[in-house]
Structures are given as structure tokens and as C-alpha cells.
Structure 1
Amino acid sequence: MSAEAQQAQAANLPRADGTNSMRKRLARGGSISFLINSAGMGLSMLMQVALARMLGAEGYGLFAFVTTITTFVVFPAKLGFDTTIVRMAAAYRAKGEWALLTGLLRRGNQFGLALSSAAAVIGIAVVLVQSGGEMSERTVTYAAGFATVPLLTLATLRQSALQALKDVLFAQMPEKIIRPILTIGSLAAAASLGWKADAGTAMLSFAVSVILSYVIGAVVLRKRLLPHTSGLAPRYETKGWLRISTSLMINAGMYLVLGQLNVLMMGVMIDETSTGIFSAAVRLASLVSFMFTAINMTASPLVSETYARGDMKGLQRVCETSGRAGFLFAAVVFAGLAIGGRWVLGFFGPAFHDAYVPLLILAAGQLYSSFCGQNGTVATMTGRTSSLTKVLIAAAIVNALLNAALIPTMGMVGGAIAASLSVAMWNTAMVVIVKRQLGIQTMAWPVRSRKD
């Protein structure tokens, strides 16, 4: 505890990190994140609608399916360093340990670049061998998708670094704002030059946007770090970082399975067109929890800091303040989708109306997740990853089994049910575990016992 904090306590004065201060920090960071996420979500939806309209349900389905595969390839390439950077870099920054922070970022990028490059080369080679060298729409789409893996991996690590440095604006702007604009612009430019508007052209346009947005984000990170790290020799704790990252990578993999496996299995078990239609429902349902995600960009470092100081009351305030704001917004968006969801889906094309019921089921799962609050973040940022890992693995297994059982007979509705049930399962379990292990209630409006 700092001398200033001790003096404040002795004088029975409000702590500098008291309720009002905590709310202001969350409100300030959350507002910036909310604005960026709002604009980014709007641009992302505009991009998806434009792609669906230009490519048709079949072409959009191919694009969405390859994008999902790329997402699954990127996650092991990160080796869990994205979450490790948020967790450790926030603590290093607070303690002024810039040499360790520099070493962490450098080592994370080294591992990420090596693994993602290998995955990209293998993926492209497999695609070319299977195609027999024929550059069809499908071949170009898959090859261009795999080519984006290294920069997507490094961009995620850079985003985590800026998040830990509390630069909420530039942590999100390159990916959420600049990338969709560049994708739409590149696709429009290609079409004006006479290129066929198909999934391959769309993926090449996306690849161009990934390159340019990565360069912008990397320049910003360098400028943020330079004043603190100039002339410093990096310090490395590679074994410790790998131990943490490995555990966190397992959790990240489970999150990915819970969020995207149904989209992938839809393409494998039915067809890529169904994947595209279902993917639109998944993207719209994510609107329910996007405020919660925006607030989490600010809340994650605060969770790490308050726990590192042993300030459990402050940690509880972070959970309550962020949880309530996130859930109230989620409830409003859920109501909006229930009323106008079918109309919104119509923007993608007539075939997308079939995703209305799956959209409501997915949105209900996101609403419940928002009500359960920051349970996963608290577990991760306080070192309770073992319990989280067990819960997520169990939920991922349930998700996979439900998908396998329900998708063949119920299609998109079955995939939505599988996703929402597994989300409800792990969130409920983690609310109970975090309360028992830390004494922290993460629900938006927790049920307090007499002991509390």
C-alpha cells in the first residue's frame, strides 16, 4: 500500500481509488471503448451486409467459413500471450518495470510470428496441393485467408499491449474502424477495376486491410512505449510467461470453441451457405454483449491492479459498476433484436430471414452472460485460471456434443441452442466459483446472503 493511501486511511478520508474514482475511470475508459466499439460494430455490420449483397449467400458463406477457420488457426499461434500481456503488462506498468514489459512484448511477438508463419505456410501448401494448382475462387479465398494469419496474430498481441497501457482508443481503432473501412474500400476499388466480386476478391481485400491496419497499430504502440523503454535492455522471464500463457491459451481455445465451433460445424455438417446465414445471426447476437466487451477493455487492467494491491472492495466495485452498465445495455439491445431482428436480417438478403429464431436464442445466451458479469475476467486476472479452465473445457465438450446432436436434425436452431446452453453453463459455474474463492460477486445485481 502506498504512503498516500495509508495516510488517507489513517485520516478516515476516501481512498484515491474509491467508488467515485473507480466509476470515473470505468466511465471514461468505457465511454471511449463504447464509442469505438459502436462505430466499429456499425462498420463491421456494414461490411458484412455489403459482402452478403455483393457475393450472395453462397459466396458470403464461403468467405465466412474461411474467416472462421482462420480464427481457429490464429488462436494457437498466439500461444496465450495476448491475455498474458494484458494481465502482466498492466502490473509491470503500474510498478514501473518497463524492462520486463519490453521483454514480454518482444518474446510474445517472437513466438507468435514463428508459429503463425508456420501455420500459414502449411495451410497455403495444403490448399495448393488439393486444388492441383488451379486458382479457383475457393483456392484464392483459402490461400488469402491463411496468408493473413501472421499479421492477425501480431495485431492481437499489439492490441493487448495497448489495452494494458490503457490506450483504449488505439487498442481498438485499427481493427474495429480502419480495417472495415479499408476492406470495403479495397473491394470497391477492385470492382471498379473490373475484378469479379466473389469470395476470393473479398478475402484479398480483407488481406490488404489487415496489412495496412497492422502497420498503423504497430506505429502507435512504438510511440507509446518509446518514452519509457528507450535505452532499456529487455528482461525476460520466458519460462514463467510460457507457464502462464499455456494455461491461458487453453482457456482462450475454450472461449473460441464456445463462440465459433457451431459456425464451423454448420459448414462441415450442412453446407457453407448455411454457415454464412448462421454467421450473420452470430454477429448480430454479439451486439447484445458488445457494451460489456467495450467496458471490459478498461475493466481488465483495473481488476489486475486492484487485486495486486489487495483491494478486494475496489475489485468488487469494478465488478458491480461494469456489470450493471453492461447488462442494462444488453437488455435494451436484446429487446431491439426481438422486435426488429427479422427486419435487420433482411439487409443481408432474403435468405437470411431464416436466421431470426437462431438469432433470438443466441441473443438470450448473450444477455444471460452479460448478467453474470466479469467472472471469467476476474478468474483470469487474479490467477484462478485452473478453475476457469476446468469449467470451460466441460462447457466446450457439452457444446460440441450438443452441436453434433442438434445441428443435423434442427440446423441453425440446434446450433444456437447448443451455443446458448453452454454459455449459460460456464457462466453460472464461474459466478459460484469466483464467489467461493475470492468472495467477489460478479453478477450485475448479486443475490447477497446474510453473511454478506
Structure 2
Amino acid sequence: MTLIDTAGKMLPPRYAARLTPVFEVLTATDETGAASRMAMIAFAIRVVSAAIAFVSQIILARLMGEFEYGVFVFVWVIAIILGNLSCLGFHTAVIRFLPQYRTAGADEAIMGLAATARIFSMLSATLIAATGIAALYFLGDRIESHYVQPLFVGAFVLPMIALGDVLDGTARANGWPVYALSPTYIVRPLLILAFVAGAIGLGRMADANTAILAALAAAYLTTVIQFVVVTGKLRNRFPARRVEIHFRTWLLVAFPIFLIEGFYFMLTNADVIIVGLYLPPEKVAVYFAAAKTMALVHFVYFAVKAAAAQRFSGLVSGDDPIALAAFARQTVQWTFWPSLLVGGLVIMAGPFLLSLFGPAFQDGHMIMVVLFAGIIAKAMIGPGEVLLTMAGEHKICAAIYATALAANLALNVILIPAWGLIGAATATAAAMVIEACLLHVIVRQRLGIVMFIASRPPAGARHSASEAS
């Protein structure tokens, strides 16, 4: 039996020797149960975090006003994007390698992987931050004055965001979803809100500078505590006396992940940045509030992805293409109808939800309607990219995201000057439609499966669908 790692490379012989007998006696039941529990906990945390994020953004908008709030969210979104991209895929590569090394008893490689991912990500983030600070120094006179100081402070957040993402991946790989997700999605937003309120109470102005300083403090405090906790748990679980580094193998896996996740991350966040480049901060605030409100609908998609990924993996590795096709169509049903229902309710409540941010934010209702069209277009195809990924079609996924991102950027540049915020929403929705169409075509061509809400299952597929679920 030959064992290979996720890069397609042979595992070191001493690890393969230890892994083979263990691998042959592993039961799928235990892994499935653990994965299901982790998925349920992760989804619960994300639901709670969505509520916290929504309420905290309303409070911040109320405290700061649309102009200062727009400056803050523009800078904060840039920091989140650059911090995440700084990892260069290592935060997900940890999830790919660590379980394999754990099964093989390779504690030295686990500790080496954890240390390498942290150091690499922080160095990369520091380099990007230093480049940004240098650009502010030399080009500061060409940047709107209200952005300069928040951008300068925001640059110092990047290493902590990158380290937090790596710690997130490390905790997920060990089956610690609470330690993985709660620091970033629950603790940090609550601390930002508390620090802003505290600073205002002490006499500071309720402006973007105060908010970004609060975000800086919250990011450092949250990440340092997470680092101490996760590192302690790692050392207790894997008591290695030395570390073992396989940097080239890890990088070969991390970089394709970076391309796929980087394109997707930019695709879902680039519109806010482009709006900030073309329009004043108060417009950024309105657009961000509308997009944040519509993000509530995305949780249907997130839930289906979390539930379907493992089942897709098992069906792809099997020899029952009818069951795979039937389950794929079923995930489309799970995605589309709840998304349509939740989205319709959010749209109906849109004016009220936006009014919570402030009177000026109600102008974002039409933005919500346009974004909803794009969300529904994606829901009509379901989690097609998950199926492609589990089928080993990583490169085509990256190409699809890259194409959708390029279309998003180009359409934003064209439509924002002409139509303003509606142009930004139209560009984003159009990119979603392009992504959905490409997924539909590629899944059909590569796998022979029709993922579309209106498709009819072939004869015999209904029985297989019930078995697959």
C-alpha cells in the first residue's frame, strides 16, 4: 500500500510505515461523527457571530455616523483581506497536513508545521504592512486625508490577522472548533465594540481613528490569548522535543490553496474597496450596511457547504455516479429554496433593518435587491465548487474564481462612475451570475452532473438520492 500526502509526494518512509497499519483499521464512522459534530459547532458559532457582527455594526454606525463609519469599514476590510492573503494558503495547508501527521504519530512534523505556518504568515504580513506604510509615506498626498491615519494604524493589524488565521486552521485541524472560530468571530467584534464605547466614554472622538485603534487593540489581545491557548494544547497533545520542517512540500500545497481561496476572498470583498476608491465614505457605509444585511442569506449556503463536503468526498471516491449526481441535485434544492425564503424575508424587512444603522442607510434597500439577484443565481447551482474540489478539480475552481473576480473588478470600474452604488451592486451580482454559469458548465462537462434547480433527475436517481442523503 503506497501512501502519499496531499501534494502528491511520498510521505517519509518512517511515517508511512507507522501510518499504513493504522490507516487500514480506521473506521469511517468515528471520523464522520467527529466531522459532523465539528460542523454543527462551527455553524452554531457562525450563526451567533453573524448576530453579534450585525448588532455591533449597527451600534458602531450609530455612534460614529455614516462618514466616519464608512472610513472605518473601508480600512478594516482592506486589513482583513491583506491579513488573510498574507498567509499564502498556509492556514489551510495546516488543515490538510496535520491530521495525516497526527495519524502517523509524526509529532515532530506537526510542531514544525505549526511553527513554520505561524512564522511564515507573520513575516509575510509584516512585509506587506511595511510596503503599505512606505506607500503611505511616499504617496500620502495623493490619498484622501481622512484615510491616511486609519490606513497607517491598520497596517499594524496585519500580522495579528495572519497569525489568527493560522491559529484558526491549527485548531480546526485538531477538532477544536471553539478555539478556532470564537476568537475571530465572537471575541474580537465584541472587544472592538467595547473598546470603542470605552474610548468614547473616556472622551475620545467617535471617529474612524478611534475605531481602528480599538480594532488594533482587539486583534492583538484576541490573537495573543488564542496563541497561548492553542500552543499550550498543541504541546500537551504532541510532546515533541524537536521540530521537523518540510517547507517545500507544504508550500507546494499551500500555494494552489492560496490561489483558490485568495480569488474567492477577493471576489466576496473587493466591491467594498472599489466603492471606497470611487465614492465618498458615507456611500461606502451605505453599501457595506446593505451588503452586511444581505450576508444573512449566505448562511444557508454556508450550512449546505458544511454538510455536503464530506458526503461529496465519500461519493466521489466510490463507484456510484448515479448516487453522486442525485446527491448533488439534492444540495441544490437545499440551497435554493431556503435562500429564496430567507432572502425574501430579508428584502421585505430591508427598510427596517437598514434604518437601524441610521436614517441615511435606508438608501441601500435597492442595493439589497440587486445583490439578492446574484445570491439567488448562485443558489440555483448549489455548492458546485465543493463538488469540483472534492473531485480533485482544484485548478478549474481557481480559474472560475479568477474569471469571476476579473469580471467583478472590470464591471465595478465601469459601472460605479455611471450608476454609483447601484453600479457596484450590479457588478457584484453579475460576477455571481458568471460564477454560477461557469460552475454549471464545468460540473456538467467534467463530471457529467447537471446542477441546476430546474433539472430533472434521470430514471433511477430518486432512489439513489434517498440513499445518498
Distance in 2, Cα, partners of 1:40 & 1:230: 34
The alpha carbon displacement at 1:335 in A equals 1.8
Over the matched positions of the two proteins, sequence identity in percent amounts to 25
Structure 2 vs 1, CA of residues 323 and 229 (structure 1 numbering), >3 Å: closer, same or farther? Answer: farther
Q: 2:81 aligns with which of 58, 68, 72?
A: 72
Which of 347, 354, 377 is the equivalent residue of 2:356? 347
Q: Distance between the aligned counterparts of 1:339 and 1:288, measured in 2?
A: 13
Cα distance, 1:107–1:434 mapped onto 2, change above 3 Å: farther
Deviations 1:300-355 (A, max 9, x none): 5x369748976878988986787655555433320211210111011111111111
Say yes or no: does 1:171 pair with 2:180: yes
Which of 220, 223, 228 is matched with 1:219 structurally?
228
Q: TM-score, normalised by structure 1?
A: 0.84
Separation in 2 of the partners of 1:403 and 1:129?
A: 27
User: Structure 2: how far apart are the matches of 1:173 and 1:90?
Assistant: 21
- Comparing 427-436 with 222-231, which one deviates more in the overlay? 427-436
Query: 1:294-305 counterparts in 2 under 5 A?
Result: 296=305, 302=310
Cα separation, 2, equivalents of 1:373 and 1:86: 24
Q: CA deviation at 1:164?
A: 2.4
- When structure 1 is superposed on structure 2, of 253-262 and 437-446 the one drifting more is 437-446
| Structure 1 position 52, deviation (Å) | 0.9
1:87–1:381: 8 Å Cα contact kept in structure 2? no
Q: 2:113 aligns with which of 75, 81, 104?
A: 104
Match of 1:409 among 418, 435, 439: 418
Q: How many angstroms apart in 2 are the aligned matches of 1:7 and 1:202?
A: 53
Pairwise CA RMSD:
3.5
Deviation digits for residues 125-146 of structure 1 (CA, Å, limit 9, x no counterpart): 44355558xxx86443112211
Please state if 1:375 is matched with 2:391: no
Tell me the CA shift for residue 113 of structure 1: 0.9
Amino acid at match of 1:176: Y
Alpha-carbon offset, residue 154 of structure 1: 0.9
Alpha-carbon distance in structure 1 between the residues aligned to 2:69 and 2:382: 33
2:155: which partner in 1?
A: 146
**Matched residue, 1:253:** 262
Unmatched tracts of structure 1, length 5 or more: 9-14
Matching residue of 1:114:
123
State the one-letter code of the partner of 1:423. M
Question: Which residue identity lines up with residue 434 of structure 2 in the other structure?
Answer: M
Q: Give the CA deviation at 1:25.
A: 5.8
Letter in structure 2 aligned against 1:79:
L
**1:123 aligns to 2:107 (yes or no):** no
> Which residues in structure 2 correspond to 1:188-199 (within 5 Å)?
188-199=197-208
Provide the rounded CA distance (Å) in 2 between the counterparts of 1:226 and 1:425.
Answer: 46
Superposed, 1:386-401 pairs within 5 Å as: 386-401=395-410
State the alpha-carbon separation in 1 of the partners of residues 410 and 36 from structure 2. Answer: 40
Q: Secondary structure at the match of 1:289?
A: helix
Letter in 1 for 2:220: I
Cα distance in 2 for partners of 1:241, 1:42 equals 36
Q: 1:367 to 1:30 in 2, by over 3 A?
A: farther
Pick from 29, 45, 60: which aligns with 2:54? 45
Query: How far apart, CA to CA, are the structure 2 residues paired with 1:101 and 1:444?
Result: 43
Once residues 403 and 60 of structure 1 are traced to their aligned partners in structure 2, the CA distance between those partners, rounded to angstroms, is 22
Tell me if the contact between 1:90 and 1:304 (Cα under 8 Å) persists in the aligned partners. Answer: no
* AA at the equivalent of 1:181: L
1:32 matched to 2:44? The reply is no
Q: Which residue of 1 aligns with 2:248?
A: 239
Q: Which moved more, 1:120-129 or 1:354-363?
A: 120-129
Aligned residues: 439
Give the deviation of 1:362 after TM superposition.
Answer: 1.4
Candidates 355, 359, 366, aligned match of 1:357: 366
Asked if the contact 2:304/2:383 (under 8 Å) is kept, the reply is no
- TM-score, normalised via structure 2 length: 0.82
Task: Please list, as runs of the form range in 1=range in 2, the aligned pairs for 1:199-218 lying within 5 A after superposition.
Answer: 199-218=208-227
Secondary structure of 1:372 counterpart: coil
Question: Which residue number in structure 1 is paired with residue 13 of structure 2?
Answer: none
Post-superposition shift, 1:270? 2.1
**1:57-107 superposed Cα distances (whole Å, 9 cap, x missing partner):** 110110011112223322431112223223333444455544433333222
Aligned counterparts of 1:349 and 1:355: Cα–Cα separation in 2: 11
Which 10-residue stretch deviates more, 228-237 or 291-300? 291-300
Q: Is this contact kept in 2: 1:91–1:305, CA < 8 A?
A: no
Which consecutive unaligned segments of at least 5 residues does structure 2 have?
A: 2-19, 462-469
Please state how far the C-alpha of 1:285 moved relative to its aligned partner: 1.5
Question: CA deviation digits over 1:222-242, x for unaligned, max 9?
Answer: 244234311254333322221
